Amino acid sequence: MATRSLLAKDWALEINTGTSGAPVWTPVKGLTTLKEAIASTMEDDSDFDSGGWGSDQVTQRKWSLECEGRRKRDASNLVTFVPDPGQQAILNAGNLVGIGSNVEIRYYRKDGAPDAWQGFVTVDYGGGGGAVTALEPFNFKLGGQGARTQLDPYPDLTPA
């Protein structure tokens, strides 16, 4: 039986532009990179009964996403810049401090793999600009605010 690799491009990121009680899941379009990271704090829990072998225990985990992409506009309006709603929601939160920079997100694979998560994050927006011939970049880091929740995958997560 042949095996196939998962493609990185099959990730989707959505931001809740509604409320927790009435979520509106808005896709963040234009992404070219989505890197998930889990950082673990390890503490030595060795004891005299281990026969000289050391032991570590995870005492804390933190999750984050690092994302990059290209600023996008609504293709139906080529005269006035109308930003992608998902990108704009990230940018808006990234320009605030404190709890204003916290948003609810979900991210998942669109190819049927069981990787689907939801949680609250704080937004660290990287800004725009670039060289005269470059497409404008869009980059941000999402730092997890507590535990994330694993979601039941598909088909209910597929964006419209």
According to the model, what pLDDT value does residue 81 have?
A: 75
Peptide bond into 159 cis (omega under 30): no
Tell me the three state secondary structure of residue 92. helix
Can you give the pLDDT at residue 10? 86
Over pLDDT 90: what percentage of the chain?
A: 59
C-alpha–C-alpha distance, residues 86 and 89, integer Å: 5
* Average pLDDT score over residue span 138-156: 86
Position 7 pLDDT exceeds 90: no
Of 17-21, 71-75, 111-115, 138-142, which range is least confident?
Answer: 71-75
> Any idea which fold 8-42+54-150 has?
Factor Xa Inhibitor (4.10.410)
Average pLDDT over the chain reads 86
Residue 11 has pLDDT above 50, yes or no: yes
Exposure string over 51-64, b if 16+ CB within 10 A, otherwise e: eeeeeeeeeeeebb
Residue with more model confidence, 108 or 159: 108
Across 31-58, average pLDDT:
92
Per DSSP, the three-state class of 123 is: strand
| Predicted confidence (pLDDT) per residue in 89-141, tens digit | 999 999 999 998 999 999 998 887 889 999 999 999 987 777 777 777 889 99
Q: In this predicted model, what pLDDT tens digit does every residue of 80-96 receive, in sequence order?
A: 777 889 999 999 999 99
pLDDT confidence of residue 156: 59
Distance CA 57, CA 40 (A): 10
Radius of gyration in angstroms for the set of CA atoms belonging to the chain, rounded to a whole number: 19
Q: What is the rounded average pLDDT of the residues 2-29?
A: 86
**How far are the Cα atoms of 62, 98, 146 from residue 59, in angstroms, in the given order?**
11, 26, 14
